[in-house]
Structure 1
Amino acid sequence: MAVAFNPDVFGGNRRQIEALEAEAENQRFQLEAAYLSLTANVVAAAIQEAALRAQIEATRRVIQAQTEVLDLYNKQLRLGQIAGADVVQQQAALSLSQQLLPPLEKQLAQQRNLLTALTGRLPSEEVGETFTLAALHLPTRLPVSLPSRLVQQRPDVKAAEARVKEASANVGVAVANRLPQFSITATAGASAVRLAQLTNPATGFFTIIGQATQPIFDAGTLYRRYRASEESLNQAQAQYRATVIAAFQNVADSLRALQSDAKAVAAASAAERATGESLRLVRKQYTAGSVNAMQVLIAQQSYLSALVTSAGARAIQYADTAALFQALGGGWWNRADVVPSPPDTDPAKFL
Structure 2
Amino acid sequence: MKPWRRAALWAALTASCAGCAVGPDYQRPAAPASTQFTREALPATLGDDTGHPQQLVSDQTIAQTWWQVFGSDALNDRVQRALAHNPDLDAAQAALRQAQENVAAQRATFFPTAQVSYSPSRQRDAVGTLSPALTSNATYYTLHTAQLNISYAPDVFGLNRRTVESLQAQADNQRLQLEAARLSLAANVVNAAIQEASLRAQIQATEAVITAQTRALAILHDQARLGYASAMDVAAQESALAQARQALPGLQKQLEQNRDLLAVLCGEPPAQGGAPEFDLEHLTLPASLPMSVPSQLVEQRPDVRAAEENVHAASAEVGVALANRLPQFALSASYGGSSTSFTRMFTDDNVFWALAGSVTQTVFDFGALKHKQRAAEAALQQSAAQYRSVVLGAFQNVADTLYAIDADARTLAAATDAERAAQRTLDLTGKQQQLGYVGALVLINAQQAYEQARIARIQAQAARLSDTAALIQALGGGWSESQASAQAANSH
Same fold (TM over 0.5): yes
The equivalent residue for 1:137 is: 284
1:235 aligned to 372, 382, 390, which one?
A: 382
Matched, 1:9 2:170: no
Question: TM-score with structure 1 length normalisation?
Answer: 0.78
Residues 1:151 and 1:264: Cα distance change in structure 2 (over 3 Å): farther
Partner SS state of residue 271, structure 2: coil
- Match among 438, 460, 473 for residue 326 of structure 1: 473
Q: What's 1:342 paired with?
A: 486
**Once the 2 structures are TM-superposed, how far is the Cα of residue 344 of structure 1 from its aligned partner?**
6.3
- The residue number in structure 2 matching 1:215 is 362
169 and 126 in structure 1: CA distance in 2 versus 1, 3 angstrom threshold: same
How many angstroms apart in 1 are the aligned matches of 2:488 and 2:379? 22
Change in 2 beyond 3 A, CA 1:318/1:235: same
Deviations 1:76-114, CA, capped at 9 Å, x for gaps: 97xx9x946699699756676555444433332222122
Alpha-carbon offset, residue 64 of structure 1 = 5.6
- Over 3 Å counting, the alpha-carbon distance change for 1:210 and 1:138 in structure 2 is same
What is the identity, as a one-letter code, of the residue corresponding to 1:343?
Q
Report deviation, 1:22. 1.1
Q: In terms of mean alpha carbon deviation, does 58-67 or 164-173 score higher?
A: 58-67
Contact kept in structure 2, 1:70 and 1:90, CA below 8 Å: no
Structure 1 or 2: more strand by fraction? 2
What amino acid maps onto 2:155 in structure 1? Answer: D
**What residue is the counterpart of 1:277 in the other structure?**
424
Contact 1:115 1:127 in 2 (8 A): no
- Residue 244 of structure 1 pairs with residue 391 of structure 2: yes
Cα deviation code 1:235-275 (max 9, x no counterpart): 11011010111011101101110011111111101100001
Of Structure 1 and Structure 2, the greater helix share is in 1
Please tell me whether residue 257 in structure 1 is matched to residue 404 in structure 2: yes
Give me the whole-angstrom Cα distance separating, in 2, the residues matched to 1:229 and 1:113: 45
SS in 2 for 1:258: helix
Q: 1:293 to 1:148 in 2, by over 3 A?
A: farther
Counterparts of 1:218 and 1:102, CA distance in 2: 69
For residues 164 and 297 of structure 1, do their structure 2 counterparts lie closer, same or farther at Cα, with a shift above 3 Å needed? same
Asked whether the equivalents of residues 278 and 299 of structure 1 are also in contact (C-alpha less than 8 Å), the reply is yes
| Alpha-carbon distance, 1:150 to partner | 3.9
Shift of residue 146 of structure 1? 4.0
* 3-state secondary structure, aligned to 2:416: helix
- Alpha-carbon distance in 2 for matches of 1:320, 1:237: 30
1:225 maps to which residue? Answer: 372
Deviation at 1:287, TM superposition (A): 4.1
Query: Could you say what secondary structure the match of 2:292 adopts?
Result: coil
| 1:13/1:289 CA distance change after superposition, 3 Å | same
Question: Deviations along 1:41-96, whole A, 9 cap, x unmatched?
Answer: 2222211110011112223444566678889x69x97xx9x946699699756676
Cα 1:340–1:144, aligned 2, differ >3 Å: closer, same or farther? Answer: closer
Partner of 1:33: 180
Q: Is the 8 A contact 1:151 1:327 kept in 2?
A: no
Distance 1:159 1:269, change over 3 A: same
- Matched position secondary structure for 2:291: coil
TM-score of the aligned structures, taking structure 2 as reference length: 0.58
Distance 1:242 1:19 in 2: 22
Q: Give SS of 2:288's match.
A: coil
Contact 2:163 2:320 (C-alpha < 8 Å) held by counterparts? yes
Matching of residues 1-351 of structure 1 within 5 Å: 1-2=3-4, 3=7, 5-62=152-209, 83=228, 92=238, 97=244, 100-128=247-275, 130-146=277-293, 148-183=295-330, 211-291=358-438, 295-331=442-478, 342-343=486-487
For residues 293 and 202 of structure 2, the distance between their equivalents in structure 1, rounded to whole angstroms, comes to 37
Identity %: 50
- Between 32-41 and 113-122, the greater mean CA deviation after superposition: 32-41
Q: Determine the C-alpha separation between the residues in 2 that align with 1:7 and 1:217.
A: 23
Superposed CA RMSD: 4.0
Q: CA deviation at 1:187?
A: 8.4
Which residue number in structure 1 is paired with residue 112 of structure 2? none
Which stretches in structure 2 are left out of the alignment for 5+ residues?
8-150, 337-343
The CA deviation at 1:183 is 4.5
In 1, distance between residues paired with 2:358 and 2:446?
96
| Deviation of 1:182 (Å) | 3.6
* 1:108-156 deviation digits (Å, cap 9, x = unpaired): 2222122222222122212356111111112232121345424433222
1:51–1:133 Cα contact (<8 Å) kept: yes
Q: Is the 8 A contact 1:151 1:329 kept in 2?
A: no
C-alpha separation between the residues in 1 aligned to 2:288 and 2:332?
Answer: 65
Q: What's 1:192 paired with?
A: none
**SS of alignment partner, residue 143 of structure 1:** strand
How many residues end up aligned between the 2 structures? 331
How many angstroms apart in 2 are the aligned matches of 1:340 and 1:20?
25
Q: Which amino acid aligns with 2:487?
A: P
Distance 2:490 2:388 in 1: 13
- Please state whether the residue corresponding to 1:142 is helix, strand or coil: strand
Is the 2:216–2:444 contact (alpha carbons within 8 Å) kept by the matching residues of 1?
no
